[in-house]
Amino acid sequence: MSSQSPSSKRRVILKLSGEALREIGSTDNISPEIVDRMANEVKEAMGSGKVELGIVVGGGNFWRGAAASARGMDRATADYVGMLATVMNALALQGALEHKGVPCVVQSAIEMKNVAETFIRRKAVRHLSEGRVVIFAAGTGSPFFSTDTTAALRASEMSANVVLKATMVDGVYDSDPKKNPDAKRFDRVTFRECITRQFQVMDSTAFSLCMDNHIPIVIFDLQKPGNVAAALMGAEIGTIVDGGD
């Protein structure tokens, strides 16, 4: 395990995909209803007094750098556009949380002081310890890194106890459950197995970073109401990915 939060609270990094903020089939990039539900569940968990929370949000509901690169755009430029997309999602989520009375700050890895704080590790740690939710935007600030890797990096920097990956499936499977009705879901699986078998729930860099820093990952279903709050408060849901010790 990584070093504990200085308080008795559980320090968590929640990874939300950008696609999760869009209603399936809708032309709107951000669903106010989904963002409101996320904010309600975060408020519930924060109200328990047991959680310190950082959130990393993706930008895939607006833009995917790898896809733009495949169509001929310079990859670094495409990734920077994607980083800016995450800032839009972060600000939307911040607005919803503050509307519900949850103290919240956005820190951006790319300086844009008119809309967000610039990421400073020590300042982020202080925000967490003082009860504010910190939303980490703009990825790592460098191209070629996913927001999954950002979540693993921020978890390492914040000495988080766990990374929670909220996704569209209810855990890690040995094959694609959408294609194989007999796919087996793991309750627990090791980092090395995820990397070796190339499970696609997170990228290998994120798995490796969490493995090196002894930070477990929980993969769980975002779509089931109440799951975010339950995961934040330590309920046993989804699949645990760890070192297998």
Annotated binding site for UMP: 59, 79, 140-147
Query: Which residues have C-beta within 8 Å of that of residue 210, sequence separation ≥ 6?
Result: 152, 155, 156, 163, 191, 216, 217, 241
The helix or strand, by DSSP H or E, that contains position 212, with its residue range, turns out to be helix 204-212
Tokens of 88: 């839009």
Binding residues: 15-18, 59-60, 64, 79, 140-147, 167, 173, 176
Contact (Cβ atoms closer than 8 angstroms) between residue 18 and residue 167 = no
Binding residues for ATP: 15-18, 60, 64, 167, 173, 176
Burial of 139 (0-12, 13-18, 19+ CB in 10 A): buried
